[in-house]
Amino acid sequence: MVDVGSIAGAIGDKIGAFFSSIGGLLQATHLPEQIKSVDVAGLFSNPWFLIPFIAFVGYMIYKQNFRDLFVVCLFMGLWYISGTHYMQTLVIGDQVQINKVLPLLFGGAVVVGLVIYLYFGRSD
């Protein structure tokens, strides 16, 4: 007989090792700290970022690919919102502020619903 438990355990170990290697890479490169310390005003005044970004937006408008442009704007908005004071005060000490988490949860559900509608709900 096939021992399903040992097979599932082996698969779980491999998946855990895979995700722990990704976590180790993120810790080694200090990626979360780098994202937190980005200077937005400096980024959008840097021509090495600004010229390709404007070219990307212009190309998306030229190709009339507003769906992907909207998703990029959503990601930029998420990046901006994640650095606000509101997001920094979601957890105070060891307590989760549920009155601040629920609006965020429902807003995220609306955004996910919009993305699902854009990609699967309407035809081009």
Q: What pLDDT is stored for residue 58 in this prediction?
A: 92
Amino acid at 21: S
Q: What pLDDT is stored for residue 124 in this prediction?
A: 55
Q: What pLDDT is stored for residue 2 in this prediction?
A: 66
Burial class (CB in 10 A: 0-12, 13-18, 19+), 105: exposed
Compute the half-sphere exposure of residue 100: CA atoms within 13 Å on the CB side of its CA.
12
The answer for residues whose C-beta is within 8 angstroms of residue 100's C-beta and 6 or more apart is 86, 89, 90
Q: What pLDDT is stored for residue 39 in this prediction?
A: 77
Q: Is the pTM of this model over 0.75?
A: no
User: Cα–Cα distance between 91 and 100 in angstroms, integer?
Assistant: 9
How do the pLDDT tens digits run along the chain, 124 residues long? 667 677 777 787 788 888 788 888 878 888 777 777 777 778 888 889 889 999 999 999 999 888 889 999 998 888 888 778 888 888 888 888 888 888 888 988 999 998 898 888 866 5
In angstroms, the first-to-last Cα distance of the chain is 52
Q: What pLDDT is stored for residue 55 in this prediction?
A: 94
DSSP string over 75-115: HHHHHHHHTSHHHHTSEETTEE-HHHHHHHHHHHHHHHHHH
